[in-house]
Amino acid sequence: AQSVAQPEDQVNVAEGNPLTVKCTYSVSGNPYLFWYVQYPNRGLQFLLKYITGDNLVKGSYGFEAEFNKSQTSFHLKKPSALVSDSALYFCAVRDRGNTGKLIFGQGTTLQVKP
Amino acid sequence: DTGVSQDPRHKITKRGQNVTFRCDPISEHNRLYWYRQTLGQGPEFLTYFQNEAQLEKSRLLSDRFSAERPKGSFSTLEIQRTEQGDSAMYLCASSLATRAYEQYFGPGTRLTVT
């Protein structure tokens, strides 16, 4: 079965420092991987996706993610964190077949302190 | 606003009552998904439609849950005889069938069963 894991419940980083939010995946076949962000009492906002191609994917709000097939990872990164980046981040993988169903990790809370 | 909308945003109900939620997808999107998110967890797939046809239902969707998309536009999710365990955020997402991996999420309906 397709799955993703986010090993950290919370990541703390100082404003201006680089941030990394970790995600590992387990899939059969080629993975379609995604990052979403959720602000309090809001729905999920799409950040970026990896389908194929370059291992470094650039997305919204200055975020990027690195696909690493040998380590089965898809970590989210940003060179310089902002306080406004504080939110809940979800990694997701598309399920097998053509349903488009997404399977989400449990989420990582990012706290950026001034 | 051309995004996905959901109504109501919040619902408080007593155990045993029936509730119905509505989702209006992006107008040209023919796929519509329902997910449930409980506190501290990532969203979990419930069901999805392509046009008016309900093509897959999760085992999470007990007999008390029913979803419809009668004209292939908006969708409703009804929960009968609510239980405290139904308390969650119910998220709706839509996409084109040809780009099912690009799902756009609504703000969600937060259900509290007392």
In this structure, are residues B77 and B20 in contact, taking their beta carbons and an 8 Å threshold?
yes
CB within 8 A of A89, min separation 6: which ones? A6, A21, A35, A36, A37, A38, A47, A76, A107, A108, A109, A110
- Do residue A102 and residue B45 have CB atoms under 8 angstroms apart? yes
- Do residue B103 and residue A104 have CB atoms under 8 angstroms apart? no
The alpha carbon of residue B87 is apart from the nearest alpha carbon of chain A, in Å, by 15
Q: Work out the average pLDDT over B16-38.
A: 96
The model's pLDDT over B54-88, given as tens digits with 9 standing for 90+, comes to: 999 998 888 999 999 998 899 999 999 999 999 99
- Indicate whether B101 pLDDT > 80: no
The model's pLDDT over A60-114, given as tens digits with 9 standing for 90+, comes to: 999 999 999 999 999 999 999 999 999 999 999 998 887 889 999 999 999 999 9
At residue A100, the pLDDT reads 85
- Indicate whether B1 pLDDT > 70: no
Q: Is A22 on the interface with B (CB under 8 A)?
A: no
